[in-house]
Amino acid sequence: MSTSDLCSESRFVQGRLLVEGVPVEDIGRALGTPVYVYSGGAIRARYRALAGAFSGRDALICYALKANPNRAVCRVLAREGAGAEVVSGGELKRALAAGFAAERIVFSGVGKTEAEHELAVRAGVLTLNVESEEELDALSAVARRLKRRAPVSIRVNPGVDAGGHRHIATGHGEAKFGVDAASALVLSRRAWRDPHLAFRGLHCHIGSQILSAAPYLRALAVLERLLARLRALGARPSLLDLGGGLGIPYGDGARRDGLEPAAFARKLLPALAAWPELKLILEPGRYLVGEAGLLLTRILYRKRIGGSRFIVVDAAMNDLARPALYGAYHPVVPARLREAPEVVADVVGPVCETGDVLARARRLPWLPRGELLAVLKTGAYGFSMASQYNSRPRPPEALVEGARWRVVRRREGFADLVRHER
């Protein structure tokens, strides 16, 4: 067990884990467990560091709502001046409700429906990132019917393998996303010549949990060659969207290579010097909110089977899917430091799946029933991927601001499980 994985706004004080000025035990006592806890201060600090690093040029940081779409979390970033990146009509409505300006929203997604195209065009989003020839035709038809010009960027699949789990790598040639460079050139020409479309520029998104600037530079080289050809043909793009994917260190031995905001900007900005007229868009999600959240859970039982030890907690894979889905690593610490022998144990949930393991083979204090553990760095793709599997109601969410906290999503109950059944 290590306390070095705590985010900048969390610390132990007199043996108690605090998020900003609030002991997490207090939140667990008030709301029960499991419960997600987020630090508003940590989210703001990450956004300000990244936005500040790119303040030397026209740049827009668009928060990827998929990471954590809670409206209170979104409002923190909207009030900071962030834009938003959305991938569904539901996310677009959430973004607008949270206060993101429509002209600072980009709409991505490989399978947008006609209704989503119409919603985005009527809302006045900054751009729709189109991912196929047929989508371009469909969007043009919607714009023609609405008697408007739809803003369009072409999503390029640059053939860059950014590493990481294959389920979250989106820029390699076998992924379903975007179009190849040759097709992107054709679609860009069609877009700027279509009277119902307003060609904005190029977009790519090469993956998630990327811990090096090198894949971004390789993708940028592909986009720059396309931009040069478009410029030679007379096009005047105004946007260059490099997507998201900026990773965080989860404490599993992976290190961040040059992705602190200032270092990342120093590597990226020189490569963009030839294109000062383009607004740069970045779409971070995990990078902004991942380290700002934790999942608080209570120890139900301890057991041994042969030489293995298990700590059974009340959180499960339905609350936090990443470990079961990707084999993802999340640090685990007790909410209160106590004298107890340290053992190597698996932290497991109550769900009837062998894969319901939140943490495998961790050195942790062998604490008794009722003690609280904090699963760290769960602010991204935690609640947003939660389900009601095993008819387990989803947990509440709380947002901490200084010495105060509030519920930003209540705990579900049985009525929520059956609400839409007949």
Distance CA 293, CA 87 (A): 22
Could you write out the DSSP letters of every residue in 17-77? EEETTEEHHHHHHHH-SSEEEEEHHHHHHHHHHHHHHTTTS-EEEEEEGGG---HHHHHHH
Q: Which of 90, 32, 83, 33 is nearest to 66 (CA)?
A: 90
Q: Which of 381, 250, 287, 289 is nearest to 40 (CA)?
A: 289
Active-site choice (7, 62, 74, 352): 352
223 in Cβ contact with 158 (< 8 Å): yes
Q: Which of 336, 399, 333, 407 is nearest to 19 (CA)?
A: 399
Q: Angle 181-193/133-146 helices, nearest 10 degrees?
A: 20
Q: Locate 122 and state its tokens.
A: 């009527």
- Largest CA-CA distance found in the chain, in angstroms, rounded: 72
Q: Indicate the burial class of 265 (C-beta count within 10 angstroms; 0-12, 13-18, 19 or more).
A: buried
Residue type, 186: V
> Rounded to an integer, what is the distance from CA 81 to the centroid of its chain?
18
Secondary structure class of 349 (helix, strand, coil): coil
260 in Cβ contact with 212 (< 8 Å): no
Distance CA 358, CA 336 (A): 19
Could you write out the DSSP letters of every residue in 297-355? EEEEEEEEETTEEEEEES--TTT--HHHHH-----EEESB-----EEEEEEE-SSS-TT
Enumerate residues 6+ apart whose C-beta is below 8 A from 62: 82, 83, 84, 85, 104, 105, 106, 281, 282, 283
User: Nearest 5°: phi and psi at 399?
Assistant: -115, 125
Q: Which of 41, 106, 36, 51 is nearest to 76 (CA)?
A: 41
Among this protein's residues, is 7 annotated catalytic?
A: no
What does the buried/exposed string (b/e) look like for 378-398 if buried means 16 or more CB atoms within 10 Å of the residue's CB? bbbbbbbbbeeeeebebbbbb
Residue type, 157: N
List, by residue number, the catalytic residues: 352
